[in-house]
């Protein structure tokens, strides 16, 4: 889990993930689009791959990188958990307020 977030905490890796939203891409295209050199991009892709955020798709002579749902689903679960913290907290506040209102009416 931490590996997933660490992988995404680097701005260029996040940009790669965002770029791949539009579809699979070759290393060269990613490098050109983001203005990075190929060895840098390969290194980032490798980190993203280990974190299950991208996967490789071999197509004819080309290796294309595409998003891997596995890592992205982990993130989704985590975001959901963060939302639950506030939902839980404010549900409790709701109870406190109901209690205060009741006492005032007595």
Partner 1 sequence: MNTTDMTTEGDDAIVISRTFNAPPRIVFEAWTNADFVKKWWAPKALGAQMVSCEADVREGGGYRYVIQSGDQPPFAFSGNYIEVSAPSRLVYTQAFEPMADAGYATVTVTFEAVGANQTRMVSHERYPTAEVREMVLSTGMEKGMRITMDQLDELVSELQAAGE
* Nearest of 37, 39, 30 to residue 67 by alpha carbon: 30
Task: Give the x-and-dash track for 63-82 against partner 1 (CB under 8 A).
Answer: ----x-x--x--xx-xx-xx
Number of residues this chain uses to bind partner 1 (CB under 8 A): 38
Per CB under 8 A, contacts with partner 1 among 22-61 are none
Query: Shortest approach of partner 1 to residue 55 CB, angstroms?
Result: 14
| Paired tokens of 15 | 């940009």
Distance CA 39, CA 99 (A): 62
Dihedral angle over CA of 65, 11, 18, 85, nearest 10: 120
Q: Reduced to 3 states, what is the DSSP secondary structure of residue 79?
A: helix
Q: Which stretch binds partner 1 (CB under 8 A): 29-37, 38-46, 56-64, 95-103?
A: 95-103
Q: Check: CB of residue 60 under 8 Å from CB of residue 26.
A: no
- Looking at beta carbons only, is 32 or 91 nearer to partner 1? 91
User: Which residues sit at the interface with partner 1, rule CB under 8 A?
Assistant: 1-2, 5-6, 8-9, 14, 17-18, 21, 67, 69, 72, 75-76, 78-79, 81-98, 100-101, 104
């Amino acid at each position: 889990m931490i590996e997933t977030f660490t992988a995404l905490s680097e701005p260029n890796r996040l940009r790669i993930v965002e770029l791949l939203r539009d579809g699979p891409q070759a290393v060269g295209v990613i490098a050109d689009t983001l203005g990075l050199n190929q060895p840098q991009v390969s290194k980032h892709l490798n980190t993203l791959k280990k974190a299950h955020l991208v996967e490789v798709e071999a197509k004819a002579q080309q290796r294309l990188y595409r998003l891997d749902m596995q890592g992205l689903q982990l993130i989704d679960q985590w975001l959901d958990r963060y939302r639950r913290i506030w939902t839980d907290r404010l549900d409790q506040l709701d109870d406190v307020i109901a209690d205060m209102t009741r006492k005032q009416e007595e």
